[in-house]
Amino acid sequence: MITNPSVEQFRRLAQSSPWRWKTVEFELLPSRHTLPVHAWIRRPGNMRVEDAKGKVVERVCAGVPFADTVVQYSNGACSPAEGRWPSDTSPTFDSDGLVSALPSITNSWLVDYDDPFYENYQWIAMLNPIELTRSAHDHSSTETVTELSEVRAVEHHGRPAWQATVVTTNRYDARCECCALLSGHYDFEADRWVPGPPETVRLDVQTGICAYVGSPGDESTTAPDLDLTIIAVDARMDDHLFTGGGRAEEAT
């Protein structure tokens, strides 16, 4: 176990999630932007979400990645895209078991790195927080897009986590600029990110999932932007959890 993580190890953990777990069960706690939910995700592509009353509000059952995508070749010919999941690719791992380099462009062609979507893209970024390290879109870029400090090992709801103070740079490239993990906003006229104030970020060590984003300070009275309690990792999840339709009808 790494007890004194470095900035680079924090960055590597932030891009390792696609290869660190197969199933996860968690509760997303109330924050400034979300309502509490209980979720089960089984990779690749399966998800169940319940509200605080236990009502199923989302079910997703795995299909084929990029099923509706067509590739057009230089000779004009077209064919269905052969999408893949991250588990079908091979990143480069450092000696600490964390991803030091993403799969090559050739190896990562048409790979669907997104877990199932729920409500907005902060959910996607939470599960694969690569935007804490590099561009969430251009995986060939190795440019860092955040500044990290005060990295240390902590516990988050009883689980080992790594904490850092993180601030974006104007090169920050979120999975979606309207619901980024970190503070700031995108200036469309200037075509760049405008950084916000520093934030405390925690990554769950076992999974690489972003478990917490909030204002710095142990005694902050501001509700966090994100607060996740992980209940189980790599537990068995049967198909029945994920079958039976999409978003439930509103309760009457």
* pLDDT tens track for 91-137: 999 999 999 999 886 656 688 888 899 989 999 999 999 999 999 98
241: tokens are 């959890």
Distance in angstroms (rounded) separating the CA atoms of residues 91 and 167: 27
170: tokens are 């104007």
Q: Which domain holds residue 195?
A: 7-68+78-241
Residue 125 has phi, psi (to 5 degrees) of -65, -35
Q: For the chain, what is the domain count?
A: 1
Helix (H, G, I), strand (E, B) or coil at 119: coil
Cross-strand pairs, 155: 160
Owner of token pair 């599960």: 127
Largest CA distance in the chain: 62
Helices of type H across the chain: 7-14, 121-127
This prediction has a pTM of 0.90
> Within a domain: residue 249?
no
Dihedral of the CA atoms 14, 19, 21, 27 (nearest 10)? 40
> pLDDT tens, 36-63?
999 999 999 999 999 999 999 999 987 7
> Within a domain: residue 45?
yes
CATH code, domain with 164: 2.50.20
> Within a domain: residue 170?
yes
**Single-letter code of the amino acid located at 61:** C
> pLDDT tens, 154-171?
999 999 999 999 999 999
> Within a domain: residue 247?
no
